[in-house]
Amino acid sequence: MKPHEEQARRAKECTAALRRASGESRSAAIRAMAAGLRARSAAIVEANRGDLERAGKDGLGAAKLDRLKLDANRVEEMARGLEAVAAQPDPVGRVADERVGPSGIRVRRVRVPLGVILMVFEARPNVTAEAAALCLRSSNAALLRGGREAAGSNRAIGECLQAALAKEGLPADSVQMVEGGHEAVDDLLKLDRYIDVVIPRGGEGLIRSVAEKSRIPVIKHYKGNCHVYVDKAADAAMAESVVLNAKVQRPGTCNAAEKLLIHERVAATLLPRIAGALKAAGVELRGDVAARALLPGIKAAVESDWPEEYLDLVMAVKVVKDLDEAIRHINEFGSSHTDAIVTGDAAAAGRFLNEVDSSSVMWNCSTRLADGGQYGLGAEIGISTDRLHARGPMGAEELTCLKWVVEGDGQLRQ
Amino acid sequence: MKPHEEQARRAKECTAALRRASGESRSAAIRAMAAGLRARSAAIVEANRGDLERAGKDGLGAAKLDRLKLDANRVEEMARGLEAVAAQPDPVGRVADERVGPSGIRVRRVRVPLGVILMVFEARPNVTAEAAALCLRSSNAALLRGGREAAGSNRAIGECLQAALAKEGLPADSVQMVEGGHEAVDDLLKLDRYIDVVIPRGGEGLIRSVAEKSRIPVIKHYKGNCHVYVDKAADAAMAESVVLNAKVQRPGTCNAAEKLLIHERVAATLLPRIAGALKAAGVELRGDVAARALLPGIKAAVESDWPEEYLDLVMAVKVVKDLDEAIRHINEFGSSHTDAIVTGDAAAAGRFLNEVDSSSVMWNCSTRLADGGQYGLGAEIGISTDRLHARGPMGAEELTCLKWVVEGDGQLRQ
């Protein structure tokens, strides 16, 4: 058996002990992980320095180097993140509903762990500890495969995590770092007898590749082509601030807005004002014919702009005839991630929230708020663009499923 | 565009109207479907007679011919089944939870339809109407692909269903029968831009083939290798009646028991009694060494018996040392479908219910009760053996997902 196959087998073995482990012991282990990270902060930063040197020599870009980098402050942030997860309510064992069947059996659905979760992610060592904590909060065994550039950092972090598990009497193999090349990941994706769910996090290419190769169910996190629709009844100042924040606060994220739709009745007065604010923030605008008539000199938007996720300071603008056209456009070209309406008209908002088919629909706030922390979930393991199981930000509860527990007094099927 | 691709495109188009349709209008359409089936009962039975003749000539087996067959009583049963679905509470629009995020945004999760559901099933025309009704109850568009042997019956049923939709002002293409050979199904499984979920129902071969070919998420309904564990603290009469019912009441179903585990301390007294009842009902027993010592003359169980689903009057018996061995055996060889313990010991039951990793775990009742109707769900669209999204019996609620609806007063991301 190859080393990573052996790891998967051991992860599956841990699930029996994890099903028996109390919520309190799992919280204690997560707190011990935080303490361990703090105690070994210097060693982790030292290991990370090695990763950074190798990655720098290999020509990794500045943005990726920044994501890879750890320092004492970032290790402290990781520790605090773990403590927040430890303080979250335990999803395991929660009763979702109860009823009595026609034969008199008592039927309830209870939250249980999924089993073994394989996370495949890029070279962001801060994801490592958070993913481990969320899996343990939900009583799952975790196989963590971070980007190879972060191998040294992840090894140092993984040692802290395993030591904490052992300290609290939980099997150390409940959290394992997976090393090895792409072939190791490809092998793991076939081990459906050991692994229950795969969650890839990273660029669209990584996610498509995992989804295509996997025999195990994958929860996918595809792109976000998010829209802000400024309705005819929008407050002008709110429309400007929401569009600006949604576009520029952090343009490289999946919940940043990529498209601005504006009702034709307010376009002449509002669009120049909003466009001025966007341009001042360095945003390149691309418009349809009507938008360009109001914003002379901007580039023309072409067909391929409407479905595109720029992840950059670029925004395409379209003037729409009415709410119906806005909804139709979003449902046709959007990515079902996050879309917002700015309006003072509750009826228009109601239709938008109901009829736009996205995982998050928003009224009068920035798409950048589509996030587990902002929704009050605590940490999130990602934002699902799937429909089954979990849509949108996923916290610990989304790493569980419901099992039917049935109690009777000898009932038979008639 | 091929005819079935055109059907899938039209199904997607219906989803906008379905998102706007009230629960009452969808109930009314389901009731109109029931009325339509009754009004055209003779024509449906006549079309079914044609299917039966062709299938008889093609040499379809007796059990399959019986499943294919409709008469006036079975059409009436179908109509009543639809009325029961129409009377169910509407899952769409239900608020699962609400909270206020740290920025003051009001966040709630609301049940929404999945979109377009493709059902692939065998030649059982009674499934056709029920699947259509469950999809409409949950506001999904349905593409229904029943076994080719039932094509005439399904066409006649489909006409009733579409007429009822049109009568109630809903798009008739919300429910479409898909014809054409296996190539048509293979094509549909690639149309992830139109279809959101695939639910195959039938033998394991059909389900594996669909799961392998599909680019669309599949909710799978694999086999049921269900266990009854008779604990040392079991009531003897209850143990006998539960095992007998679980095995023989309908042995061809996925929730029939295939394995009997019995605690060694009660095996000598209880096993001969239970085995006597099983043999009297025509069950072939296969035992491990200890069981054969108590039941002379029965066949030996071999390694391949433990994971097998017989779907027949066959049962393998194993004497276990204790509860731990029973749990380990079930988690290793079972299919995570439905497993039961018979015991008067609440602590033993508690451990079994918590530690057996199956979609349904039962205490003191027959595994044959693992069923949407018996659980009080009303009709079911199948029994999922997946972990993600839905485990066990799936009713209308499992054909929906949760969307995040966020309302603010201009909140931005800091």
Q: What is the pLDDT of residues B180-196, one digit of tens each?
A: 888 999 999 999 999 99
Specify whether A127 is located in the same domain as A243. no
C-alpha to C-alpha distance for A10 and B51, rounded to whole angstroms: 53
From CA B60, how far away is CA B58, in angstroms rounded? 6
Q: Are residues A395 and A302 in the same domain?
A: no
Whether residues B103 and A365 touch (CB distance < 8 A) is answered with yes
pLDDT tens digits along B290-326 = 999 999 999 999 999 999 999 999 999 999 999 999 9
Taking a contact as any Cβ pair under 8 Å apart, which residues of chain A between 158 and 217 contact chain B? 196-197, 217
DSSP A57: H
pLDDT number for residue B219: 92
Identity of the residue in A362, A373, A412 whose CB atom sits nearest the CB atom of B241: A412
pLDDT at B230 (0 to 100): 98
- On whether residue A65 sits in a domain, the answer given is yes
Is B323 touching A (CB cutoff 8 A)?
Answer: no
DSSP secondary structure letters along B352-367: HHHHS-SSEEEEEE-G
Asked if A366 reaches chain B (Cβ–Cβ under 8 Å), the answer is: yes
Say if residues A82 and A33 touch (Cβ distance below 8 Å): yes
State mean pLDDT over A409-414. Answer: 96
The answer to whether residue B375 sits within a structural domain is no
Element (H, E) at B33: helix B23-39
Torsion of CA A244, A248, A250, A251, to 10 degrees: 120
- 10 Å CB burial of residue B237 (0-12, 13-18, 19+) is exposed
- Report how many Cβ contacts below 8 Å link chain A to chain B: 221
CA distance B409 to chain A (A): 6
Closest among B121, B355, B330, B348 to B224, alpha carbons compared: B330
Question: Pick from B97, B174, B188, B95: which is nearest to B137 by CA?
Answer: B174
Chain segment A43-66, per-residue pLDDT in tens: 999 999 999 999 999 998 888 899
How many CB atoms within 10 Å of residue B80?
Answer: 12
Give the DSSP H or E segment for A270.
helix A264-280
- The per-residue pLDDT of chain B, averaged, comes to 95
Question: Which residues lie below 8 Å from residue A8, measured CB to CB, with a gap of 6+?
Answer: A116, A118, A143, A188, A191, A194, A195
pLDDT of residue B379: 80
Whether residue B208 is found in the same domain as residue B236: no
B159 and B262 both lie in a single domain: no
- CB of A395 less than 8 A from some CB of B: no
Q: Is residue B380 in some structural domain?
A: no
User: Would you say residue B378 has pLDDT above 80?
Assistant: no
In a domain, A384, yes or no: no
C-alpha R_g of chain B: 24
For the purposes of burial, counting CB atoms within 10 Å of the CB of A95, is it exposed (0-12), middle (13-18) or buried (19 or more)? exposed
B167 CA to chain A: closest CA distance, Å? 23
The predicted-structure confidence for B191-215, as pLDDT tens digits, reads as follows 999 999 999 988 888 898 998 899 8
Q: Do B410 and A369 touch (CB under 8 A)?
A: no
Q: What is the pLDDT of residues A259-306, one digit of tens each?
A: 999 999 999 999 999 999 999 999 999 999 999 999 999 999 999 999
Chain A: residue whose CA lies nearest to B193: A332
Question: Is residue A374 in a domain?
Answer: no
Among partner residues B115, B363, B386, which is closest to A408 by beta-carbon distance?
Answer: B363
What CATH number is associated with residue A122? 3.40.605.10
Name the pLDDT band for A376 (thresholds 50, 70, 90). confident
CB atoms within 10 A of CB A173: 20
Q: Tell me: the pLDDT tens digits for B232-245?
A: 999 999 999 999 99
Q: How far is CA A161 from CA A16, A150, B89, B93, in A?
A: 19, 16, 46, 42
Non-local (6+) Cβ contacts of B197 within 8 A are A387, A388, B114, B115, B116, B117, B118, B216, B217, B218, B219, B399
Q: Which residues of A touch B19 (CB under 8 A)?
A: 354-355, 357
pLDDT at B181 (0 to 100) = 82
Confidence band of B83 (pLDDT split at 50, 70, 90) = very high
Say whether A19 and B354 touch across the interface (CB within 8 A).
yes
Residue of B nearest to A108 (CA): B375
Residues B123 and B67 in one domain: yes
Closest C-alpha to A132, from A232, A37, A235, A52: A37
The token duo for B141 is 């568009």
Establish if A237 belongs to a structural domain. Answer: yes
CA–CA separation, B365 and A406 (whole Å): 8
CA B35 – CA B28 distance, rounded (Å) = 10
Residue A377 resides in a domain = no
Residue B16 pLDDT > 80, yes or no?
yes
Please indicate, yes or no, whether residues B204 and B296 belong to a single structural domain of this protein: no
pLDDT grade for A182, boundaries at 50, 70 and 90: confident
One domain for residues A233 and A210:
no
How many domains would you assign to chain B?
Answer: 2
The predicted model gives B63-73 an average pLDDT of: 92
Q: Which of residues 81-140 of B touch A (CB under 8 A)?
A: 99-103, 105, 107, 112, 114-115
Q: How confident is the model at residue B221 (pLDDT cuts 50, 70, 90)?
A: confident
Structure tokens, A198: 């795969």
Contact between chains at A410 and B363 (C-beta distance less than 8 A): no
pLDDT for B212 equals 87
B258: confidence class by pLDDT, cuts 50, 70, 90: very high
What SS3 class is residue A28? helix
**Do B141 and B18 belong together in one domain?**
yes
pLDDT of residue B8: 97
Tell me, what CATH number does B248's domain have?
Answer: 3.40.309.10
Tokens of B91: 């899952």
> Domain containing B346: what range?
226-369
Give the CA distances from residue A2 to residues A6, A143, A158, A213, A239, in Å, rounded to whole numbers and listed in that order. 6, 15, 20, 19, 56
A-chain CB neighbours of B349 within 8 Å are: 407
Identify the closest residue of chain A to B103 by CA–CA distance: A374
Q: Which pLDDT score, from 0 to 100, does residue A93 have? A: 97
Contact assignment for B405 to A103 by CB distance below 8 Å? no
Q: What pTM did the predictor assign?
A: 0.92
pLDDT digits (tens, 9 = 90+) for A200-210: 988 888 898 99
Please give the Cα distance from B155 to A96 (Å, whole number).
40
Residue A140 CA: distances (Å) to CA of A12, A57, A176, A400, B338: 10, 37, 12, 8, 21
Give domain status of residue B362, yes or no: yes
Same domain for A399 and A349: no
- Domain shared by B212 and B272, yes or no: no
Do strands A106-113 and A400-411 pair parallel, antiparallel, or not at all (unpaired)? antiparallel
* pLDDT tens by residue, A113-122: 999 999 999 8
Q: B379, B77 in Cβ contact below 8 A?
A: no
Same-domain pairing of B203 and B230: no
As a whole number, mean pLDDT of residues A34-40 equals: 97
Element (H, E) at A233: none
Give the closest of B358, B370, B387 to A115, CB-based.
Answer: B387
Report the residue from A245, A331, A408 with minimal CB separation from B413.
A245
| Contact yes or no for A78/A366 (Cβ under 8 A) | no
The pLDDT, as a whole number, for residue A391 is 94
Q: How many CB atoms lie within 10 A of CB A16?
A: 16
Concatenated DSSP letters of B200-237? EES-HHHHHHHHHH-SS-B-------EEEEE-TT--HH
pLDDT at position B156 over 80 = yes
- A100 and A212: one domain? yes
CA distances from B380 to A103, B84, B87, B371, B377 (A): 17, 11, 14, 8, 7
DSSP tag of B93 = T
Is the CB of A245 less than 8 angstroms away from the CB of B412? yes
